[in-house]
Amino acid sequence: MARMLKFNIFRYNPQDPNSVPHMQAYTIDETESMTLFIVLNRLREEQDPSLQFDFSCRAGICGACGMVINGRPGLACHTKTKDLPEEITLMPLPIFKLMGDLSVDTGTWFRAMYKKIESWCHTKKVFDPAAQEERMDNAVAEAIYELDRCVECGCCVAACGTALMREDFLGATTLNRVARFMLDPRDERTEKEYFDIIGTDEGIFGCMGLLACQDVCPKYLPLQDVLGKLRKKMAFAAVNNILPSFLRKDIKL
């Protein structure tokens, strides 16, 4: 028997002087294999063309459609209505600047992040178009890929206790990105340089270990492991920095 679903959706258009933040209710009939992508597009086309939300790939690959679904950050495109109760509340992701209704500005946040941690391979080498590629162990490539799978949806940041309390916290997505470069033999940054980026309270030591990031990550990144190992590595780095060289210890990620 098809259900009638009730959606409570956060509405506010900051560009409209007459708009005030409020919740608006919609009802829609449930269909087979229905996802929130289908629901929101139908609502806009059939009931309310002013409704704002973001999708791009609608296949769980691009990370555009992060929102808070019944209290939990997740990707709307791969959320099936059959896994949800009859009444569903949709809110925009917190932390990120609101553009309107369910649409937030993740782009600005992430671009600032790339700058802060210099999210690229640091190397003094120069590319030689005539040379064969440098070799890499396939297992290393796969380990890098495992962390490179982050889609920057922002769900881990939105779910993070520390991020909600301090604006400058880097968040799991950023720390994971740093870990990705630490694993990469092409990045020549030293442990000391990494420590300067994340060995602080806005970095790895700000993490309270609540680990909602891992719970909500739609790509199932092993964030608990990544954060744990980074913390250990950076703690040793802090000690190493003051120890004589023969006492220093290297922690592998």
Partner 1 sequence: MNIIQTDLLCVGAGLAGERVAIEAADNGFSVICLSIVPARRSHSSAAQGGMQAALGNSAMGEGDSPDVHFADTVKGSDWGCDQEVARLFVDAAPVAMRQMAFWGVPWNRVVPGEQTYYKGGKPFTAFEKPENEGLIHSRNFGGTAKWRTCYTSDGTGHCVLYTLDNRAAQMGVSVVDKVEAIALIHDGAVCMGAIARCLKTGELTAYLARATLVATGGFGRIYRESTNAVICDGGGLITALDTGVVPLGNMEAVQFHPTGIVPTDILVTEGCRGDGGTLLDKNEYRFMPDYEPEKAELASRDVVSRRMTEHMRKGLGVPSPYGDHLWLDIRHLGEHHIRTKLREVDEICQSFLGVDPVHQLIPVRPTQHYSMAGVRTNSDGAAYGLKGLFSAGEAACWDMHGFNRLGGTSLAETVVAGMHVGGTVVEFLSGTETTFKTECMRDAYRKQEDRIKALIHGSNGRENVYGVRNAMFDTIMKGAGIFRNGTDLQESVDKLTEILARARKVGLKSNGLGANQELSLALKIEGQVKLAQCVCFAALNRTESRGAHTREDFPERNDRDWLNRTLATWAKPDDVVPTLNYEPATKVFEIPPGERGYGGGKIIPLEPAPEATPKNKKA
Catalog residues that contact partner 1 under the rule CB under 8 A.
Answer: 13-16, 32-33, 35, 44-45, 48-52, 54-64, 78, 80, 99-100, 103, 105-108, 110-111, 114-115, 118-121, 125, 127, 129, 131-138, 140-142, 144-145, 148-149, 151-152, 184, 186-187
Nearest-approach distance from CB 239 to partner 1, in angstroms: 30
Q: Which is nearer to partner 1, 34 or 207 (CB)?
A: 34
Nearest-approach distance from CB 231 to partner 1, in angstroms: 24
Q: What is the CA 19 to chain-centroid distance, rounded?
A: 29
DSSP label at 6? Answer: E
In the structure, how many helices (H) and strands (E) does the chain have? Answer: 9, 7
Q: CB atoms < 10 A from the CB of 34, how many?
A: 20
Q: Are strands 87-91 and 4-11 parallel, antiparallel or unpaired?
A: parallel
Nearest-approach distance from CB 216 to partner 1, in angstroms: 15
Q: Which is nearer to partner 1, 125 or 249 (CB)?
A: 125
Nearest-approach distance from CB 246 to partner 1, in angstroms: 33
Q: Which is nearer to partner 1, 60 or 161 (CB)?
A: 60
Among 96, 103, 26, CA closest to 65: 103
Nearest-approach distance from CB 172 to partner 1, in angstroms: 17
Q: Which is nearer to partner 1, 45 or 225 (CB)?
A: 45
Alpha helices in the chain (DSSP H): 36-42, 106-117, 138-148, 155-158, 161-165, 171-183, 191-198, 212-216, 223-240
